[in-house]
Chains A and B, each alone.
Chain A
Amino acid sequence: MDVHPENDMTGLVLDIQRYSLDDGPGIRTTVFLKGCPLSCRWCQNPESISPAPEIGFRAERCIGCRTCQKACPADAIMFDNADRIDRGRCTACGACAEGCPSRAMFAVGKRYSISKLLEEVKRDAAFYEESGGGVTLSGGEPTLQFDFTLAFLKACKEAGLNTAIETNGLAASDNLRKLLPYLDRIYFDLKIINSVEHQRLTGADNRQILENARMLVECRAPVDFRLPVVPSMTANKANISEIGVFLKKVGVREIGLCPYHENWVTKLSWLGRRDSPPAELQKPLTSEELLSVIDMFSQEGINARSVEGEIAAR
């Protein structure tokens, strides 16, 4: 079961989230890989987009000890700067984060070898066995670190773990095919069908995505489609109707809904970003909006349900 040392490459991991309940069956550990080819306007994990390590700074935790300044080899710490980090100079070496007593400075992205990451996820194996859970690879976009993703999934399978992936579908079809033998479940995002809108709101063309979606259904891969329900951007009548048409064309009658949550906005300042998202992204999705999306899908003959469960059902 051990990974051969020569195969023990490293991947850039953003976070490891245990007791994840919405990313597949059972109790799961979700591994977020850093880096994404899309840059969706509503992205709730903006720190996952860049494929390079970054440094985050939470001003409210800073005690002003200046340990970071002494530790920084690039002289990139500016105490008179609100962001504290001169992002132009910063090489994201992580020395400041290592030294920061209060974790005001923190590394965004940490390198893990396959064996180390496997060890991390196997810690909860007893919970997976009891619940029918396992490991979910997410991101960013996990296929962006394709070799690592493939090797890690292989290692998980060798260790007898149930596996799932969350993908935006923007990957070479061949690569996706190579992952299939090692995946028990694929959660595939369908965001926007109109290619112009897709380009405008996610920064990329969607032809490859839709082709992959068709391909996965055709080869009977265990794929579940999901829609991030973002007010006006994805949750509009035209888009939902087009998604419905697309799904029916490929022969799928179900979709999972991922309700938008606005509380990622504070994360922008951690990365030194001053831009603020448009007003419609600064408020939460209401249950009425979610219900109306479910309703619109049902008019298309598609059974849509929130991956977070029935709201206030109990």
Chain B
Amino acid sequence: MTTTASRKSAIDDSELISAAVAARGDLSPRIARMREQVLRAPREISLVRAREVTKAVKQNPDRPRAIQLALGMKEALRKLPISISDDERIAGAHGEKTKCAVLYPEVKSDFLIAELQNFTERETLRFSITDEEKRELREEILLFWKNKSAFDDMMSRQSEDIHFLVDNIAIVIQNDFNGANHLAHIDYEKVLQKGFEGIIDEAKAAMARIESDDPEREGKKSFYTSVIIASEGVIGLASRYSQLAHASASGATSHERAQELREIAEICERVPAKPARTFQEALQAVWLTFIGIAQLDVGQEIPLGRVDQYLYPYYRSDVEEGGLTRSEALELLEEFYIKFNKVTILGEYAVTKVNDGNTSRYELTLGGVGKDGKDATNAFSYLALEAVNNMRLISPNVAVRLHPDSPEAFVNATTNLMTNGANVMHVFNDEVMVKGATRLGWPIQAARDYVLTGCVEPIPGSTYGSPCSAFINGPKILELFLNGGRPMISVCGDEQDLPSPKCSSFAEFYGKFTDYLRSILEKTMDALDIACEIQKRLLPNPILSALIDGTVENGKDIKSGGARYNLLGIDLLGIGTLADSLAAIRKIVYDERQHNLEEVVEWLKSGFRGYEKERQRLLNHLPKYGNNDPYVDEIAKDIVDFMDEVLKEKRTYRNGSWVLGLHSEAHHVYQGAIVAAMPNGRPEGEMLSAGAGPTPGMDREGPTSSLRSMATIDYTKVYAGASCNMRFNPTLFSNQESVGQFASMLKTYFFRLGGQHLQVTVADTETLRKAQQHPEKYEDLFVRIAGYSARFIDLTKPTQEEVIRRSEMCACG
């Protein structure tokens, strides 16, 4: 027969990849130069912000923290050395070096102290730092924050149980102490329509309205004051750029450049203080606002929101009336994108590894329905995608919202970009997201206005997160449960005592397991209440509060519950590993009664040493999530249903909803390292399943079966986001027809089966191996991690291996 054993292109696949990842040939020279510069720039550190915030806290010991931070930020923006390069038309940088990180020692200082010597030498994401910078950081900044950061305070207040769980990495308390402080629905429209002067006026007016007998009078006054100071900080930075541009115009290299500089001067004089009037003003205003946000608090993830909604009016009117051409707009947008790649985060190394390859994520959201429920895709949505394809950079992370009535052309543009090897975007299902928010009580308009905030976490309109506040390590919980509350490996801290898990039926076993899971969830929620209290006291965020609906009305910072709506998300790690393991126990212990539970526990405790035959049987002969087998898929679904029930019973510290997530960044790799062997045949220390996905390599029946398994889960109950990661061989997308079939598969998964998220990495194993051997030749080979892109060569070895081990979907037959 003609059928081929396994399909592989007749030519070298790596040629396809390098052709795909090469920058577009038709970039304008200035864009090509700026792109190249940011790709090659080393990571450096900017101390200005840490210095000024530390000073502000020291010099104003009696003032509220919100005011200390606002003063520090304002001063930093006043002192930050600034420049405008010859190619720039949008001014501004958050630091004085090409690609740099600013530091936030008041959030978490312990790792800076411990790792200071090592920033230049770690395995990935190295930072250059001079000896003088090291000295200043050590002696003048970190000394002050030693044991005094918000994180130190938060951990010192946690219970022994929480310390035990954290030390054994059964849970991770993230809740913004490791960054990610901005998972919120940021109202950029407000900046564009009112300007920061308008925001200041609004705050002043609200302050004047405070009743003299209001018991919260002082708190409200400080809140409004902090908003005013922070807003002044951003305006001040803009006027510095205006002056600089004006001064540089006279010495410009050409008449054209002088004209451009004068334009920059005019624009920065106007925005973001006043409302934007043109497309270029709008981009400039958003960018300077972003810098303000990143200067105030950890800027690891700052969502850019629905750019195709709030920028479109400016684009349209400029094109229709202002003589702006599409290609001019494209060039400005490309420059805007490039800027986000200059912002990086110096993270704790352990955390850097779990955000592997890319610690800073600035996500923009395109497409989807509008507040009225009708399709909101517009001409700018396409322009934004085109710029993404032209740039092919880590930032911004691009989230596309799709719904059944998305225009065919937009779906095609999206799937083309998903499959062309750029590996820089992902897609979300509006139907599931909107339903997910309304079932939690959000009004339909806010639900429809959701944005993606970093990886895969949605945030409805007028809402503050964080949807990514803690991780629960599902397989580790099973390990503890099977072993009477004691870890089987790497024991840290005092042991807990649990009754024996022995039961007469699987139903009884599962009931006891979920009881234990409930207790862990409840403890985690309690721990996060403590964390939120510390956030309120030590890490208020005046700039972000100014841009989130409800705060001005309530007179409260977002950390004090000022936003109109709130939510906190807890992620379950390793649902595939957990479901496979529970299915294995069900089958061999309770259904077929081949072994008793003690035997299974014995295999796990020994790490299967001496039990390879048993391990192989578990691995190869039992149902595995990812193959559309209800025996195991239903367990995954039940766990989600169960956790959803538990989370619904309580409200968060800020009176918001608790929501469940199934995404793992690279936690599944690093947390897997301390999990004992599992009943699914996974050896001790191996990675766990990623996101909502199957155990790598265990989905043996191709992508449709894998998707059907994942679709068993009710994703309206997974409103903190679920990542669904697939890897495809590039030959699968060798022609337009096969890209069309991919679009059909995506639409089936979303609109017929109820999937929430999908992202693909298009790269074959051979190419990835070559990139490991010759990283210098693969500087722009991107892969998708967990809702974000990273350069493959920036990943740590274990995560590189994880990407390679993902089942490579290829067409056969």
Seen from chain A, the residues whose Cβ lies within 8 Å of a Cβ on chain B are 15, 17-23, 26-27, 30, 32, 36, 43-45, 48, 63, 65, 67, 101-103, 123-124, 126-127, 129-133, 138-141, 166, 168, 187, 189, 226-228, 258-261, 263-264, 267, 284-287, 289-290, 307-314
Q: A32-B813, A290-B10 are known contacts. Are A26 and B741 too (CB-CB below 8 A)? A: yes
B596 to chain A, nearest CB (A): 19
Are B5 and A264 within 8 A (Cβ)? yes
Please name the residue on chain A nearest to B6 by beta carbon: A263
- Assembled-state Cα–Cα distance A144/B737 (Å): 32
Are A261 and B6 within 8 A (Cβ)? yes
Q: A226-B2, A258-B4 are known contacts. Are A308 and B731 too (CB-CB below 8 A)? A: yes
Are B612 and A63 within 8 A (Cβ)? yes
Can you list 14 A-B pairs, Cβ within 8 angstroms, ordered by A? A18-B704, A19-B703, A21-B738, A27-B745, A36-B1, A43-B1, A45-B5, A103-B620, A124-B704, A130-B752, A226-B2, A260-B4, A311-B11, A312-B15
Contacts of A63 in B (CB 8 A): 612-613, 616
Seen from chain B, the residues whose Cβ lies within 8 Å of a Cβ on chain A are 1-11, 15-16, 19-20, 420, 612-617, 619-621, 628, 701-705, 708, 731-738, 740-741, 744-745, 747-748, 752-753, 809, 811-813
- Assembled-state Cα–Cα distance A307/B612 (Å): 43
Are B703 and A308 within 8 A (Cβ)? no
Main secondary structure of the interface of A (DSSP, over half): loop
Q: A311-B10, A311-B734, A312-B19 are known contacts. Are A45 and B741 too (CB-CB below 8 A)? A: no
Please name the residue on chain B nearest to A261 by beta carbon: B4
Among B616, B744, B809, contact of A26 (Cβ-Cβ < 8 Å):
B744
Q: A18-B705, A258-B4, A309-B734 are known contacts. Are A102 and B744 too (CB-CB below 8 A)? A: no
Are B612 and A65 within 8 A (Cβ)? yes
Please name the residue on chain A nearest to B19 by beta carbon: A312
- Assembled-state Cα–Cα distance A260/B731 (Å): 15
Q: A44-B5, A101-B620 are known contacts. Are A312 and B16 too (CB-CB below 8 A)? A: yes
Are B2 and A166 within 8 A (Cβ)? yes
Among B731, B744, B748, B813, contact of A138 (Cβ-Cβ < 8 Å):
B813
Are A20 and B704 within 8 A (Cβ)? no
Q: A21-B811, A27-B741, A308-B7 are known contacts. Are A101 and B1 too (CB-CB below 8 A)? A: no
- Assembled-state Cα–Cα distance A126/B812 (Å): 20
- Assembled-state Cα–Cα distance A23/B812 (Å): 10
Q: A27-B704, A32-B813, A312-B15 are known contacts. Are A19 and B9 too (CB-CB below 8 A)? A: no
Are A123 and B5 within 8 A (Cβ)? no
- Assembled-state Cα–Cα distance A189/B9 (Å): 21
A287 to chain B, nearest CB (A): 5
Q: A27-B744, A126-B753, A287-B10 are known contacts. Are A101 and B616 too (CB-CB below 8 A)? A: yes
Are B752 and A309 within 8 A (Cβ)? no
Please name the residue on chain B nearest to A307 by beta carbon: B2
- Assembled-state Cα–Cα distance A29/B713 (Å): 24
Contacts of B735 in A (CB 8 A): 309-310, 313-314
Give the one of B734, B753, B809 with max A CB within 10 A. B734
Are A32 and B3 within 8 A (Cβ)? yes
- Assembled-state Cα–Cα distance A133/B741 (Å): 9
A32 to chain B, nearest CB (A): 7
Contacts of B731 in A (CB 8 A): 308
- Assembled-state Cα–Cα distance A311/B731 (Å): 8
- Assembled-state Cα–Cα distance A311/B614 (Å): 45
Contacts of B621 in A (CB 8 A): 101, 103
- Assembled-state Cα–Cα distance A159/B440 (Å): 39
Contacts of A287 in B (CB 8 A): 10-11
Contacts of B813 in A (CB 8 A): 15, 17, 20, 22-23, 30, 32, 138
